[in-house]
Amino acid sequence: MSFHTRSSRTRLDLAFCVVVLCLLGFQLFVPPVLSVANDHDFEKILGHECLGPAATTNTPYFDYAVLRYVYDPEYCIEWPMHTTNEPVYWVARALDHLFYSKTDFDLRFMGIVYSLIFFAGFVTLQRALRELPSKLAALAQLAWIVIVCNAVYVPLFNSLYFDALSIATLTGTLAALGSLALRKEPAKAREVLLAALWLAVFAGSKGQHAFMALLFIPLFWLGRNVITARVVGTVAVLAGAWLSIGTMPKFYQGEATFNALFYRILPTLKDPETYLSETSIPKSWSRYTGEVAFAEDVPLRDPAYEEQFGKWFGPVELIRLYVRHPSAAWLIARENLDEASIDRVRIRMSGAPHRLSNYEESQQHPPQALSHFLTLWAALKDSLFGGRPFAYAAFILGVIACAWLLAPPGWPVRILLAAVTLSLAVEFAICMLDGADGGRHLTLFCFLLDLLVCADVVFAVRFSSPSDAAPRGRQRTPAWNASALPASGPTACRALRITTSRRSGPMRNRPPPRCSGTLAAA
């Protein structure tokens, strides 16, 4: 690549960086500031410091976002689960103490830290795209900006949902792993450790996503050099997964399976007690049919009952129920497809859909109002697939099939695609274990699918333009391609020797051919 080409490409990358920073800053810090309303999840981090939402005239949950959190002993909660979101919060809290308040907390400081991580992921993507021709790299960046830098995902950074860190790190994770797997030269230790850092933070961001992170560990072992770095990277990812899975409270599982059984499945049956007789749940609990775990009259509001219910009917028992009754599995799957098909999270409670608002109450928007900033792609998907679970299922399969059909050949690419495909399957399968909050838990599934759409766009353009398949200046003359060599003279002899010196595999140890006859004389 010439100096002029390299310089123009650097300028183009910097221009894209400016665009990304402007889009993040406009949505997160310019009024009306965008956030995502709390659905009682923020307490898992703020409860340790007795911080809760500032007083509002309406409920600080669902209907409106709240950016300011204040100290009050009544908000103290000792949540046993730990994730890599906590170090991010500590950094944001330090910035808050430095520039805002020693007691209160403003969620926009979370937005600063999360958005910087998200931007670092974009820069990592740019470095990985250096292996592509400049036009394809520019197309990939443009597709990424249009599809993910919008009000569907970015407002999450002004929140304390665990998914915020998962989304902030996923681009960098996939870019670093892809660069590691697809590079032609042997990987360097710092590249392996960088990919491991991304994946470890992602694995620790939420227990639901830790299983997905484990699927990418084989990508660390596609090479045979820098073994120490590969071992350290693998251990780091396992540690991140253990942090989010191992500290998950037992009663957490009972709440999700209760919602799947009592809120989703039992209301569709004529005789709920027949289903309950297949489990360890007392038949008398059939009176809670149609209720969610956090309803006022449900015993699971008591953590002791939650843990007991997890023993009666945990994830394993729910899977066994799906195996015995495939119609129940399809019921939950269809509901999740319906939830994922719309352009934003929707949570159904007591039969009524709830949307998590993007606005504060002071901004004078109606309750549960959503921003549609730069949501062109989301609006297109919603118009085509919203509320159409079968059509959305076909879209998912089509996106995956296009990736497999259009991706460049090579087994490292296939391993990477296999990890992404299995990740989509695992993310969707885990959401089958929750009957009330599946829409929000599918947020990362939708984000990963959108990233795969970005890849499909690049694959399709590359497939239709063979001349763009390799970066300019990197084409190499295949060994023993006589048509590519000079016909005669000293140049032919040198070219033949240079070409054969690049052989690999079984031919590497054979001596180079000698120039004879007129070639040698020349």
Residue 236 — very low, low, confident or very high, per pLDDT cuts 50/70/90? very high
The DSSP symbol for 52 reads: E
| Spatial CB neighbours of 339, under 8 Å, sequence gap ≥ 6 | 345, 346, 438, 439, 442
Averaged pLDDT score across all residues of the chain: 87
At residue 295, the pLDDT reads 83
Q: Quick check: 517 pLDDT over 50?
A: no
> What proportion of the chain, given as a percentage, has pLDDT over 70?
87
Q: 517: alpha, beta or left, given left = phi > 0 and alpha = psi -120 to 50?
A: left
Helix axes 189-205, 108-128, angle to 10 degrees: 140
Please give the model's pTM, rounded to 2 decimal places: 0.87
Q: What φ, ψ does residue 66 adopt, rounded to 5°?
A: -125, 125
pLDDT in tens, 121-142: 999 999 999 989 999 999 999 9
Q: Residue 200 has what pLDDT?
A: 98
Name which residue leads in pLDDT, 311 or 216: 216
State pLDDT tens for residues 456-503.
999 999 988 765 544 444 443 333 333 334 444 444 444 444 444 444
Structural domain boundaries in the chain: 3-247, 250-378, 482-521
Task: Please list, in sequence order, all residues whose beta carbon lies within 8 angstroms of the beta carbon of residue 273, skipping any fewer than 6 positions away.
Answer: 283, 286
pLDDT, residue 39, reads 87
Quick: pLDDT tens for 351-388.
667 789 999 999 999 999 999 999 999 999 999 999 99
Cα–Cα dist 441/335, whole Å:
13
Region 301-330: what's the mean pLDDT?
A: 89
- When pLDDT is cut at 50, 70 and 90, the band that residue 296 belongs to is confident
**Starting from the edge strand earliest in sequence, which strands make up the sheet with 105-106, in order?**
51-53, 68-71, 105-106
Q: Please measure the distance between the N-terminal and C-terminal CA atoms of the chain and give it in whole angstroms.
A: 34
The DSSP bridge pattern shows strands 68-71 and 352-355 to be: unpaired
- Judge contact between 1 and 137, C-beta under 8 A: no
Q: What is the pLDDT of residue 480?
A: 31
Residue with tokens 């919603």: 382
Collect all residues with Cβ–Cβ distance below 8 Å to 20 and sequence separation of at least 6: 119, 122, 145, 149
Q: Please state, in angstroms and rounded to a whole number, the distance separating the CA atoms of residues 294 and 255.
A: 8
Q: For residues 234 and 219, give the distance between their C-alpha atoms in angstroms, rounded to a whole number.
A: 10
Element (H, E) at 85: helix 85-99
| Tens-digit pLDDT profile for residues 264-284 | 999 998 888 888 999 999 999
| pLDDT reported for residue 3 | 60
Taking the CA atoms of residue 353, residue 357, residue 361 and residue 364 in that order, the dihedral angle to the nearest 10 degrees is -90
Cβ–Cβ under 8 Å, residues 40 and 357 = no
- What is the C-alpha to C-alpha distance for residues 357 and 64, in angstroms, rounded to an integer? 5
- What is the CB neighbour count within 10 angstroms for residue 292? 21
Segment 330-333 long-range contacts (CB within 8 Å, at least 24 positions apart): 331/264, 331/265, 331/268, 332/260, 332/264, 332/265, 332/432, 332/435, 332/438, 333/428, 333/432
Tokens representing 71? 């100290």
Residue 177 has pLDDT above 50, yes or no: yes
d(CA 120, CA 53) in angstroms, rounded, equals: 30
Long-range contacts of 306-310 (CB under 8 A, 24+ apart): 306/251, 306/252, 306/254, 306/255, 307/250, 307/251, 307/254, 308/254, 309/251, 309/254, 309/257, 309/258, 309/281, 310/250, 310/251, 310/252, 310/253, 310/254, 310/257
